Chains A and B, each alone.
Chain A
Amino acid sequence: MIVPLVTGASFAFWMLMPVMILGALGTILARKPVHSALSLAAVMVSLAVQYAAQQAPFLFAVQIIVYTGAILMLFLFVMMIVGVDTSESLVETIKGQRVLAILAALGFFILLIFAVGNALVGRPTGLAQANNANGGNVQGLAALIFGRYVVAFEATSALLITAALGAMVLAHRERTRKKKTQAELVTERLRKYAETGAHPGALPPPGVYARHNAVDTPALLANGEIAEVSVSSTLRQRGSVQNPADLIAPTKQTVQAIAPDRAENPATAVASYVPHPATPARGIQPELEPGESEEEN
């Protein structure tokens, strides 16, 4: 058998090695957890490739599906709950922790190289025979899982169920108040309207413009002013709301451009009509929906 100078496996390894190391460093060094998670995803996918290169196609798939797909997604979900922008301060609070940690990690690394590397002697046997014995890698693993390791496998099922139950118990929150019915919500909303004048209906949706229809585009009222409530207050506070003047500028120009034609046709022209081409398409609809804000409490 001819041993090629550069095999596919070694190519994959040497190509992905820097990716993995950088990804791992990124995981532990990124200030924002989202960046960490993404770096980790890169490492995991690279690891999946290494599995594939080492005759473990089943683990290759599982690694991508379970780890990268499921577990990391779970991390990202939790990150959204816990606060995606909770970046921590880089100042170390425990005295000497950082230096000692680096020393310990380095020492442990050397120890691992010594201890585990010691176990590697000689050429690898390769898995061709083991994989082929049952007609493939997946079949071989299945034979082991449902044969020799069936008890452990069944135990893991119990473990997973317990974990799921545990997570449900931990995440469960007791409802301290009775859930409001729709009738109560309507009554409450109308009472608020009667007392403070707050509008009982749904908030206006963002505006729809010729070139924009995103959540950061405020709607215009019938008198040409901006409907402040049509844009999320978060965006308003951040100041990342589109300037409505810019939004309507192209329409204005067009209207002005065609204005002379209109003037010539008095039948269609309305004297007092100030061109507001972007009239609120749906405006304020008296359609009653259960308010989202109350629902959450």
Chain B
Amino acid sequence: MDPQAYIVMSAILFSIALLGVMIRRNVLIVFMCIELMLNASNLALVTFSRMHGSLDGQIAAFFVMVVAAAEVVVGLAIIVTIYRTRRSASVDDANLLKF
């Protein structure tokens, strides 16, 4: 199987997720898009791992998953906290930090 197909797939997924981050307002969906980006890059890593015949790429993907898990835990806690105080799940409502 040609690795280029996987890479293109990864790029497609990444770009779609990117678009999602930019156009969606629901903070949970934005967060899921970020997870999707991580997954897309994982796919690229695994592909490169096979491409070069080395397991280091898989290790990198593994670490990405671990860090993603930690990130999700903290990120969701933040989302819950914000929701508790502002009663809103929209990223546009959390816009106090501006001019």
Contacts of A199 in B (CB 8 A): none
Beta-carbon contacts under 8 Å, A56-75 to B: 56, 58-59, 62-63, 66-67, 70-71, 74-75
A residues in contact with B48, CB < 8 Å = 119
CA distance A113 to B48 in the complex (A): 14
Contact B39 A44 (CB under 8 A): yes
- Give every chain B residue within 8 A of A126 (Cβ-Cβ): 50, 53
Q: How large is the interface on A (under 10, 10 to 19, 20 to 34, 35 or more residues)?
A: 35 or more
| Contacting pair B17 A78 (CB below 8 A) | no
Q: Write the B11-51 contact mask toward A (1 if CB under 8 angstroms, else 0).
A: 11111111110111110110111011001001110111111
Q: Are A21 and B23 in contact (CB under 8 A)?
A: no
Least distance between B45 CB and chain A CB atoms (Å): 9
Q: A residues 70-100 with Cβ under 8 Å of B?
A: 70-71, 74-75, 78-79, 81-83, 86, 88, 92-94, 97-98
Contact A9 B1 (CB under 8 A): yes
Given contacts A50-B46, A66-B69, A108-B15, contact A59 B62 (CB under 8 A): yes
Interface membership of chain A positions 1-29, coded 1 if the CB is closer than 8 angstroms to chain B and 0 otherwise? 00000010110010001001100110110
From B22, B59, B89, B92, give the contact of A82 (CB < 8 A): B89
CB-nearest residue of chain A relative to B28? A33
**Assembled-state Cα–Cα distance A56/B44 (Å):** 13
Chain A residues with CB below 8 A from B72, complex form: 71, 74-75
Chain B neighbourhood of A30, CB < 8 A: 29
Most B C-beta atoms less than 10 A away, residue of A70, A116, A125, A168: A116
The answer to whether B50 and A37 have CB atoms under 8 Å apart is: no
Which of B's residues lie within 8 Å of A, judged by CB?
1, 3-20, 22-26, 28-29, 31-33, 35-36, 39, 42-44, 46-56, 58-59, 61-63, 65-74, 76-81, 83-84, 89-90, 92
Chain A to chain B: the 10 pairs with minimum beta-carbon distance, closest first: A28-B20, A125-B53, A101-B22, A163-B70, A109-B15, A170-B77, A167-B77, A105-B19, A112-B11, A9-B1
CB pairs A–B below 8 angstroms (24 shown): A13-B6, A28-B24, A33-B26, A40-B36, A50-B6, A53-B1, A54-B49, A56-B46, A62-B62, A71-B69, A75-B32, A78-B80, A92-B23, A105-B22, A125-B53, A140-B55, A144-B55, A149-B63, A156-B70, A159-B66, A162-B70, A163-B73, A170-B80, A171-B77
